[in-house]
Amino acid sequence: MGIALLAILPAIIMIIVWSAGGSKVMSPELQQKTMQEYTEKLNQRNADIIFYQKDPIGPANLKARRVNALNDQGLALNLFSDKAFHVIILDDLDGSLALKDQDIQKLKSLLLNDHFRIVYLGTMHYNQLVQGEILSRSANHVDGTKSYLTYVNNKNMRSSVEGAAFADEPTTMPITSGLTEEETIIYTVIVELGRKDLYWT
């Protein structure tokens, strides 16, 4: 009986470890493969993923582009009219993003009139985006939150998520090491946009 128990003990331990935090026992190769699968789910949504002022960060299979101006010429939406959705990512995690008043006005128009999904990552421009009616200050808002998503859903209602409910605590991320803090948050955004239909309805 004791020998039989010893024989199955490693399997029991593996099941317990997997249940407690499954991604922690994934091999690096499986972590990368899982991340690529989430990214492909996002790609299949036929979304125009736009990084403002910064080159796209993410897995090699992420379909995304960079724009340097939030005007019609800079956004070049006529070239992406076949896309079902547009998502603009404002990566300000290092505090270097420049947002002028005219940028805020354009973002508001993109949100309300063109049904853009707007992702803000950072803290510096949070109050400016709230005052510009792009972000809504949550009753549960916590200073220092770094990730926000706002959009108008198919029923023409504003929806938003922030913080741990979005990307501040990357519990869904398959990759557990080897990424910078910025990459971890952006990769988590990709996972969340890929896995949750909620953000597209």
Categorize the per-residue pLDDT at 12 as very low, low, confident or very high, splitting at 50, 70 and 90. Answer: very low
Per-residue pLDDT at 24 = 53
In this prediction the pTM is: 0.86
* Per-residue pLDDT tens digits for 75-92: 999 999 999 999 999 999
What is the domain extent for residue 167? 26-200
Q: What total number of domains does the chain contain?
A: 1
Q: How do residues 24-76 score in pLDDT, each as one tens digit?
A: 578 999 999 999 999 999 999 999 999 999 999 999 999 999 999 999 999 99
Residue 34 and residue 26 in contact, taking contact as beta carbons nearer than 8 Å: yes
| Per-residue pLDDT, 16 | 42
Q: Compute the distance between CA of residue 173 and CA of residue 189 in angstroms, rounded to an integer.
A: 9
Return the DSSP state at 197. Answer: G
The answer to whether residue 14 sits within a structural domain is no
The two structure tokens encoding residue 83:
């896309």
Question: Cα(50)–Cα(90) distance, rounded to whole angstroms?
Answer: 9
pLDDT digits (tens, 9 = 90+) for 125-175: 999 999 999 999 888 899 999 999 999 988 888 999 999 999 999 988 999
